[in-house]
Amino acid sequence: MNETESLKILEKKIGYSFKDRKLLEGALTHSSYANEILTGSREDYERYEFLGDAVLELSVSDFLFKNHVEMREGEMTKMRASYVCEQTLAMCARAFSLQEHIRLGRGEEAQGSRKRDSIVSDVFEALIGAVYLDGALDEAKRFINEFVLKDIDTK
């Protein structure tokens, strides 16, 4: 499957079509791919991850605040931490096979990095950042509600 097909498949899985496909490509690009394949390009997922992490924390905080009025601040903080931790996010990402769409360099691919929770969860946050940049907060919150918060008690 070529990259264009992979991106279209991912968009279908997440129910969002990017207006600016470069945002999606950036969110899926590991620095090893950028360095090896894109000949030194600095465009990788790390900046998107930074933004996606903030959007995720805001969205989860909003959800907990509105849906758990009985909780005190400390309880909400602990619950939010469990929702946005590496293991939980990697599990949420694997539910729609995000790991299959990550653009890795040859060395990282050979090391099995596609299976590492740290990379999968980072790319998941980067994808949230890309959705936010492309479609604004409402789209990012819809994505988070669908892939993180929906059925969170059973995850």
Q: Quick check: is 125 catalytic? A: yes
Q: CA-CA distance, 128 to 125, in Å (whole number)?
A: 5
Q: CA-CA distance, 56 to 98, in Å (whole number)?
A: 17
Transcribe 73-109 into DSSP letters. Answer: HHHHHHHHHHHSSHHHHHHHHHTTTGGGG-B--HHHH
Residue whose entry in the numeric block shows the structure tokens 């980067």: 126
> Given 44, 49, 122, 125, which residue is catalytic?
125
Query: Phi/psi at 36 (nearest 5 deg)?
Result: -85, -50
Q: How many CB atoms lie within 10 A of CB 145?
A: 14
Residue 60 CB partners (closer than 8 Å, separation 6+)? 80, 83, 84, 144, 148, 149
Whether residue 105 contacts residue 37, with contact meaning beta carbons closer than 8 Å, is answered with yes
> Given 53, 108, 122, 134, which residue is catalytic?
53
Residues with catalytic annotation?
53, 125
